[in-house]
Structure 1
Amino acid sequence: MDKEALKQAIEAAFDGDMLSVRVTPKASRNVVTVEDGQVRVYVTTVPEGGKATKDVVKLLAKSLGIAKSTLELVRGETSRDKVFRRS
């Protein structure tokens, strides 16, 4: 999936200004995918002290072409299932 198609798929997954994401920490590579309308983010970072969540925000922001500061974690600080709000 090219960058523009990925961006459109992520945009389509937003429910209003909320985005549900499934995170896989300690993955073999950093990548964002959309499978059946569900956004999945794979990060190589270990889930300690919010490091993985920070990398998820970086990857999502880069994929969407927006600033990291426009994504706010609403739910799932310590969970694999996270919900972000776009401001």
Structure 2
Amino acid sequence: MFELFDLSYDFLDEDVTLWPENQNFLENLEYFKKLQVVNDVAERGVALIEQYNRCLTKDEEQLQYLLQVVTEHRKQYPNCNNSNFVTP
């Protein structure tokens, strides 16, 4: 990761207790504090499920009922997946 951001990592060879005195460590610390992190995969997943939910129903009451039905089904059939189905 340090190479990806073109940052020095020689402080890794030192004892951890000395890092706060190492200039390269301090520069890296400041760099990463300013770096904005975005979980793009999670955000896309949330957007996808929201879009899918809108396709199912636009009525919030119906959506809540559907979610309750799915929850109950998962409780009754906890191992319900493709590998557990018998095909004729």
Normalising by structure 1, what TM-score?
0.21
Normalising by structure 2, what TM-score?
0.21
| More helix per residue | 2
- Which has the bigger relative contact order, CA under 8 A and spacing at least 6? 1
Which one has a bigger Cα radius of gyration?
2
